[in-house]
């Protein structure tokens, strides 16, 4: 692999008797959009958790970022070193505006204060193409898509080299998913590597350069998206796993 930015080897996470992620190994190249798919409960979010240390590291195995081991490091140290994530559940501060939310993120995630935090907030607002005229209203009044933009902006506030997005398309309409598609491409073109967990396969297949499919905590398939979706085992896992 040319210039890996992330290398995960034999990552494992157990919860009592349950192995949620079982000896998973893969690498992500610098500058790539790397997609992660898999049925519900296949271990996708757990994989992000153990990689970022939020809220836990792996039970076993190694995670390297820029060649250095990060498993076992405190979550804030991992984030500040340039590996930032969003969460599957939207968790906005309903009374705060987008600008205020991002200023807080800039203080906590980026170590910035006052004018510097405001400057950062404006920079990421622009990067995610958030409507400036809506940046000062309470977040509770924002649309679902605007909340997603805000979530991605928060992940970008500390100028990370990698962002990890956990199902950002959930709850979006088809036209909004197309906007998100274009946004992810733009963010990636600005030099940011993206790891993307997504159930919306049209989005995942459109933006990902490579795809990893998990099933019951293990890697079921990995490779070029077009090849992975043709893999009969992948179709079987999805159809078998559907509610
Ligand atoms: N904190 C926890 N304690 C116990 N079991 C957990 C915990 N977190 C996750 N699990 C279990 O680990 C497995 C993987 O869960 P995970 O949330 O990683 O799946 P997922 O692929 O993200 O699913 P989804 O697509 O529904 O978001 C599931 O069986 C889940 O119930
Ligand atoms: Mg999940």
For ligand 1, atom 11: residue with the closest CA: 20
Centroid of ligand 2 to alpha carbon of 133 (angstroms)? 33
Q: Domain of 234: which CATH number?
A: 3.40.50.300
Q: What is the pLDDT of residues 127-174, one digit of tens each?
A: 999 999 999 999 999 999 999 999 999 999 989 999 999 999 999 999
Q: What is the pLDDT of residues 98-111, one digit of tens each?
A: 999 999 888 877 66
74 pLDDT above the threshold of 90: yes
pTM above 0.75, yes or no: yes
Sign, CA torsion 16/20/24/27? negative
Centroid of ligand 2 to alpha carbon of 57 (angstroms)? 16
Say if residue 2 is exposed, middle or buried (CB neighbours under 10 Å; 0-12, 13-18, 19+). exposed
Q: What is the pLDDT of residue 219?
A: 97
Q: Relative to the CA of 46, which ligand 1 atom is closest?
A: 18
Q: What is the pLDDT of residue 240?
A: 65
226 lines ligand 1 (CB under 6 A): no
Show the domain range for 87.
4-239
The number of folded domains in the chain is 1
Confidence of residue 88 (pLDDT cuts 50, 70, 90): confident
Centroid of ligand 2 to alpha carbon of 242 (angstroms)? 15
45 torsion bin: left (phi>0), alpha (psi -120 to 50), beta (else): alpha
For range 71-78, the mean pLDDT: 92
16 lines ligand 1 (CB under 6 A): no
55 lines ligand 1 (CB under 6 A): no
Which residues share a beta bridge with 193?
Answer: 162
242 pLDDT above the threshold of 60: no
Q: Relative to the CA of 49, which ligand 1 atom is closest?
A: 18
**DSSP three-state, residue 107:** helix
For range 68-95, the mean pLDDT: 89
94 pLDDT above the threshold of 80: yes
Q: What is the pLDDT of residues 172-187, one digit of tens each?
A: 999 999 999 999 999 9
| CB contact set of 107 (below 8 Å; sequence gap of 6+) | 113, 117
206 pLDDT above the threshold of 90: yes
């Amino acid at each position: 692999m040319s210039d890996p930015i992330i290398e995960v080897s034999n990552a494992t996470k157990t919860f009592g008797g349950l192995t949620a992620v079982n000896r998973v190994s893969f690498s992500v190249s610098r500058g790539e959009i790397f997609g992660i798919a898999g049925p519900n409960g296949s271990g996708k979010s757990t994989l992000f958790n153990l990689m970022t240390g939020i809220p836990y590291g792996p039970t076993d195995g190694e995670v390297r970022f820029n060649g250095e081991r990060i498993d076992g490091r405190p979550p804030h140290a991992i984030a500040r070193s340039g590996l930032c994530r969003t969460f599957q559940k939207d968790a906005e501060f309903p009374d705060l505006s987008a600008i205020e939310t991002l200023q807080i993120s800039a203080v906590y995630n980026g170590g910035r204060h006052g004018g510097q935090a405001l400057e950062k907030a404006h920079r990421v607002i622009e990067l995610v193409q958030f409507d400036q005229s809506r940046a000062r209203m309470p977040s509770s009044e924002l649309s679902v898509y605007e909340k997603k933009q805000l979530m991605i902006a928060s992940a970008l506030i500390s100028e990370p080299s990698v962002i990890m997005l956990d199902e950002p398309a959930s709850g979006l309409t088809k036209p909004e998913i197309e906007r998100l598609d274009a946004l992810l491409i733009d963010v990636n073109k600005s030099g940011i590597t993206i790891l993307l967990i997504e159930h919306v396969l049209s989005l995942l297949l459109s933006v990902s350069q490579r795809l990893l499919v998990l099933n019951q905590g293990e890697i079921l398939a990995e490779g070029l998206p077009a090849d992975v979706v043709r893999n009969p085992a992948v179709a079987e896992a999805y159809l078998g796993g559907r509610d």
